Amino acid sequence: MNDKDYADAAMAGLLAQARKQFGNAIKGFWFYDGDPCPGCGFPIDVMPYKGQDALSLNTFIYRPRGMLIGYFLCNLCAQQIFKAAERNPGVQIPLHGVIERNLITAYHRYLASQDA
């Protein structure tokens, strides 16, 4: 199984979970498999987690399309978000907005390429 297969399998599970929570509002999923990191522009890399290398798999719902968008973050952005969540659980930081704007732009480019 390659990285895309793992990501697709993980996204299928996250999609099922999102549909349980949000019902028909979730139409499907799209995975941003681009490099660089949608938060900072650095390459996607692994981060240490419980003594092993891990990737930070994340999602958000792009409400206008009902699309669950999945993505990886670089170690720096993932650590920044994790540390902020420890200080203020459930509170988004400005980096979240940057990530979402970059992913929405990438998703629109993807949709445009499908129409071509």
Question: Could you tell me the CA-to-CA distances from 52 to 48, 49, 67, 96 in Å, in that order?
Answer: 6, 5, 31, 25
Q: According to the model, what pLDDT value does residue 3 have? A: 67
Model pTM? Answer: 0.89
The 10s digit of each residue's pLDDT in 35-93 is 799 999 999 998 888 999 988 899 999 999 999 999 999 999 999 999 999 999 999 99
- Which residue(s) pair with 72 in the sheet? 57
Select from 10, 90, 69, 80 the least CA-distant residue to 39: 80
